[in-house]
Amino acid sequence: MNHNNQMNLQNASEVNNESDQAAIQKNEAREEMLSRVLTTDAKERLGRIALVKAEKAKQVGDMLIQMASRGQIARKVTEDELKDLLEKITGSNNQTKIVYNRKNIDSSDEDEYDL
């Protein structure tokens, strides 16, 4: 490899490392903020939810951080309060709907099976 290619690879590697470090720092700041907002039990529950539904846990975490930054949270959120918040989010987003598809039987089809 010539010198220019080596420099380009090194620069690309440094950019990746910097972006990785920025992402790690952002994640650490997020976790620190959640630790300040949630009780230990609530934080554990959010962690368990993240194992199953990472997007929902991220959504709830983001909502809690926004509420805290606006001053809407006066004390640490308990596990029961977290459950209530999850129910509100789940209820508004996901409503189970069951649709039955029934086959129409023609009267002529019924005649074919009469013996």
pLDDT at 36: 92
In this structure, CATH architecture of domain 3-113: Orthogonal Bundle (1.10)
Mean pLDDT of 23-50: 92
So what's the pLDDT on residue 102? 76
Domain range list for the chain: 3-113
The pLDDT assigned to 89 comes to 81
Whole-model pTM above 0.75?
no
pLDDT at residue 66, rounded to an integer: 93
Side-chain-side CA neighbours of 2 within 13 Å: the count stands at: 1
pLDDT at 35: 92
Q: How far is CA 93 from CA 7, 14, 24, 49, in A?
A: 49, 41, 30, 16
